[in-house]
Amino acid sequence: MIRKVFTEDHELFRQSFRTFVEREITPNFKRWEQAGIVDRSMFTAAGASGFLGIDAPEEFGGGGVDDFRYNFVISEELAYAGVASAGMGITLHNDVCLPYFLNLTTDEQKRRWLPGICSGELVTAIAMTEPAIGSDLASMTTSAIRDGDHYVVNGGKTFITNGINADLVITAVKTDPSERHKGMSLLVLERGMPGFERGRNLDKVGLHAQDTAELFFTDVRVPVENRLGEEGMGFLHLVDNLPQERLSIAVGAVAAARQALRWTIEYTHDRTAFGQPIASFQNSRFVLAEMASEIEIGEVFMDRCVEALVAKELTVEEAAMAKWWATELQKRVVDQCVQLHGGYGYMLEYPIARAFCDSRIQTIYGGTTEIMKEIIGRSLRP
């Protein structure tokens, strides 16, 4: 099926990024998986090649193109190459963090941060989750008490993607601990601030090339000039940006399912049992047919959602639909693909086994499947 969501320019961009992946990521991927973190040089290489800050203004070193379809291409190509865990730093940087620095910053903050973000010299992260809370952000306890021209930040965050590599961490804090949602604000904590410490690079089930860390704050003095947006508006700022984050996860999920199917089609046609290819058995054909059909359906919905996002029409509910359905699809497809690989599907030397480990987090981070259904369910009215 021809995907009309992409133009010739997007396909030329795809070829360029595919070459970048082959040159900069694939040769290093195994080493990064073993180390649990990518080299920072990956970010500067991506910046030099024009793959960071695509929608940032050209005056700050960005691409000056407000079109999420280019981000879409990056997510797909990382999945197709089987290196999504290494490339997650790029997608988080572009899809999740950059909008905060574009939409909530003053002119002075833009001049201070955007050039480094676009060049890859300043790696970004966003810190919301705390050890005692998951989806219930209003219950966070990390505090930021105003003291003159500074906030004094105390608390901690966990499960922070890019947590080790990050130079700029968008941190959700309570500037008014007596309030819930209305007491939240966003501060940018910078590498080297006294009292800002990083804990473990967490040992995860999958996504081994992606650094995921604990962060600790002890009397960190953060200048008021590092606040993003208005004090007390942090929760609303997060809500505004979550649809794009969730769509980014959904797009990567469908692409990962597509690649898992490709590996499995190849394997089942090459591998024989009882004197014939595994793909020739009726059960195998039916399972492959079901997966191929669902992936086609998923791609069509992703394309529609991306078009809505580009047109500034994507709703919170549509993003939630895309996120839960696509990530559940990814889990289901990858599991079936492992089954069709048999015992070899359980061996980490086969990419389908790594894909199985990597897929499990998809229905959890960025908003669990249950929270996504709650968002959708609350919107349904007669």
The confidence score (pLDDT) of residue 4 equals 86
The confidence score (pLDDT) of residue 1 equals 66
Every domain of the chain and the residues it spans: 8-122, 125-231, 235-379
Poorest-pLDDT segment among 169-173, 174-178, 356-360:
174-178
Our CA dihedral for 52, 22, 356, 359, rounded to 10 degrees, sits at 10
Would you place residue 155 in the very low, low, confident or very high pLDDT band (cuts 50, 70, 90)? very high
Q: How far apart are CA 226 and CA 106, in angstroms?
A: 10
CATH T-level assignment (fold) for domain 125-231 = Butyryl-CoA Dehydrogenase, subunit A; domain 2 (2.40.110)
Q: How far apart are CA 338 and CA 350, in angstroms?
A: 10
Is 245 an active-site residue?
yes
- In terms of pTM, does the model score above 0.85? yes
CATH 1.20.140.10 assigned to 235-379: yes
Our CA dihedral for 21, 22, 24, 26, rounded to 10 degrees, sits at 90
Would you place residue 135 in the very low, low, confident or very high pLDDT band (cuts 50, 70, 90)? confident
Residues whose CB is less than 8 angstroms from the CB of residue 181 and which lie 6 or more positions away in sequence, other chains included: 138, 235
What does the pLDDT look like over 225-284, one tens digit per residue? Answer: 999 999 999 999 999 999 999 999 999 999 999 999 999 999 999 999 999 999 999 999
Instruction: Identify the sign of the CA torsion 44, 45, 49, 53.
Output: negative
**At residue 134, does pLDDT exceed 80?**
no
Q: How far apart are CA 244 and CA 65, in angstroms?
A: 16
Instruction: Tell me the Cα Rg of the chain.
Output: 21
What does the pLDDT look like over 301-349, one tens digit per residue? Answer: 999 999 999 999 999 999 999 999 999 999 999 999 999 999 999 999 9
CATH 1.10.10.10 assigned to 8-122: no
Q: Which of 33, 77, 245, 299 is catalytic?
A: 245
